[in-house]
Amino acid sequence: MAAQAHWMIRSILALSAVCSAGSVLGANTLLLCGRVIDGVSDQVRTEMTLVVSSNRIVSVEAGYKPGSAGDRVIDLKNRTVLPGLFDMHVHLQLRPAPSAYGDKAMLNPEDLAYRAVAHARTTLLAGFTSVRDLGGEQVVGLKKAINEGILEGPRIIAAGRAIAITGGHADQSNGLNRELAGDPGPDKGVVNGADDARKAVRQRYKEGSDCIKVTATGGVLSLAKDGFRPQFTSDELVAVVQMAKDLGMPTAAHAHGAEGMKRAVLAGIGSIEHGTMMTEEIMGLMKERGTYYVPTLSAGKYTEEKARVPGFYHPMVAKKALAISPFMTETFRKANRLGVRIAFGTDAGVFPHGDNAKEFQYLVEGGMSPMKAIQSATIEAAKLGEVEKELGSLEAGKLADIIAVDGNPLEDIKTLQRVGFVMKDGAVVRR
């Protein structure tokens, strides 16, 4: 009898738990929105209700709808509601500091991983519910932990190690003594020739990367003297792009100088990052091929400022920053005017994480309308990341990544630097 009673009690408790879970799962969250910028329309809608069930938007309705019994109602009537933002160029493992150049010699992988955890949460709370990390080996594991609900952070499209040539911008042995530097190969992202390039892409695929980044030209922050010259042959770039395409991995190319940029576009690269010395010829090729441009104006502003601070950067780096960064805004201005496809990206990690939304201000100052700037960080970024069916706009059926700000960002774009409400995957993470 005791065993039978025990079994009955357990059954009743289990049934109660199921009923309770059912009532919670069946409840909706209603967001009462004063203004809605949905990421795709050029029109702002007022007095709208977003209905969220579980982790998806089930409807976008005119007027303020009353909730049913058990529904959660969130009052955002005095706010502007937008899709969760994308930053398509971040480095979650990195930080800006004069001591950063010693990190690769002194820090272990787990040190970088723990740092990335904190940066990821800061980024999410700033309203960026999705990011593309272009060059952090430990970020692949961070992405998995966030997806499994172990850690809090944005959705991550991870490139893992960037692919470079020997001595190139993403050769992480640059600046190390001979004993530490060694001779890295494709497993470490360093290639010489088309076969090496294919192997490096396959290695990133094996490690769980989502996309591929190559450093098609020199760069600013690496301890290598040149920031402009091409660093991949056309054959190597074609090999990277074709192998990535075969494996279903989008591609991106860091590029400051024109020749390396042109080679990458002709090879079929998905996006040009930075694009400092982009010519009108290259802009035309990008328009023809649908290649995206990710301007990262924030990085240019920050590095130019810090290059003037004695000792902040290595002298070689400071010299490159002062030579490269001043061109970035004018290049953006021309590319925007000529109609090149633009997606929002900042190079966060070069400057402090959490300040990503300053990029909106720089885009608008460079001639982009506030609405187009917002769309560059929503639907256009989602298209570049090949996730536009699930994210990038406030539409029925899409994942519930939603933010809200006080005021109207179309009147003052700086309001996006002060995000007060963040929902990711249907869960409120900042209110």
- Please tell me the distance from the alpha carbon of residue 231 to that of residue 216, in angstroms, as a whole number: 5
Homologous superfamily, domain 27-84+394-430: Urease, subunit C, domain 1 (2.30.40.10)
List the Cα angle 369/360/313 in 5-degree steps. Answer: 140
- Please tell me the distance from the alpha carbon of residue 403 to that of residue 82, in angstroms, as a whole number: 5
Q: What six digits make up the tokens of 417? A: 């630097």
H or E segment and range at residue 14: helix 2-26
**Which pLDDT belongs to residue 107?**
82
Our measurement of the distance from residue 213's CA atom to the centroid of its chain's CA atoms, rounded to an integer in Å, reads: 13
Q: What are the contacts of 187-191 at 24+ separation with CB within 8 A?
A: 188/161, 189/161, 189/162, 189/163, 189/164, 190/163, 190/164, 190/165, 190/166, 191/163, 191/164, 191/165, 191/236
Q: Where in the chain is the domain with CATH 3.20.20.140?
A: 85-384
Residue 17 reports pLDDT greater than 70:
no
Could you tell me which residues come within 8 angstroms of residue 286 by beta carbon, excluding any fewer than 6 positions away?
Answer: 265, 272, 292, 293, 340, 341
- Name the CATH topology of 85-384: TIM Barrel (3.20.20)
- What's the order of all strands across the beta sheet hosting 85-90? 85-90, 128-133, 155-158
Which residue's structure tokens are 């090496």?
A: 196
Residue 10 reports pLDDT greater than 50:
no
- Please tell me the distance from the alpha carbon of residue 423 to that of residue 402, in angstroms, as a whole number: 5
Residues 363-387: what's their mean pLDDT?
98
231 neighbors 217 (Cβ within 8 angstroms): yes
Residue 101 reports pLDDT greater than 70:
no
395 neighbors 40 (Cβ within 8 angstroms): yes
What percent of the chain has pLDDT above 70?
88
Average per-residue pLDDT in the chain? 90
Quick: pLDDT tens for 161-209. Answer: 999 987 677 666 555 556 665 666 677 878 999 999 999 999 999 999 9
**Which pLDDT belongs to residue 24?**
43
Q: In sequence order, what DSSP letters do the residues of 338-403 get, joined into one string?
A: HT--B-----BTSS-TT-TTHHHHHHHHTT--HHHHHHHTTHHHHHHTT-TTTSSS--TTSB--EE
- Please tell me the distance from the alpha carbon of residue 160 to that of residue 402, in angstroms, as a whole number: 27
Quick: pLDDT tens for 283-292. Answer: 999 999 999 9
Q: Where in the chain is the domain with CATH 2.30.40.10?
A: 27-84+394-430
What percent of the chain has pLDDT above 90?
77
**Which pLDDT belongs to residue 282?**
98
Q: What's the one-letter identity of residue 42?
A: D
Quick: pLDDT tens for 291-328. Answer: 999 999 999 999 999 999 999 988 888 998 898 888 99
Could you tell me which residues come within 8 angstroms of residue 352 by beta carbon, excluding any fewer than 6 positions away?
Answer: 95, 96
Residues 124-145: what's their mean pLDDT?
96
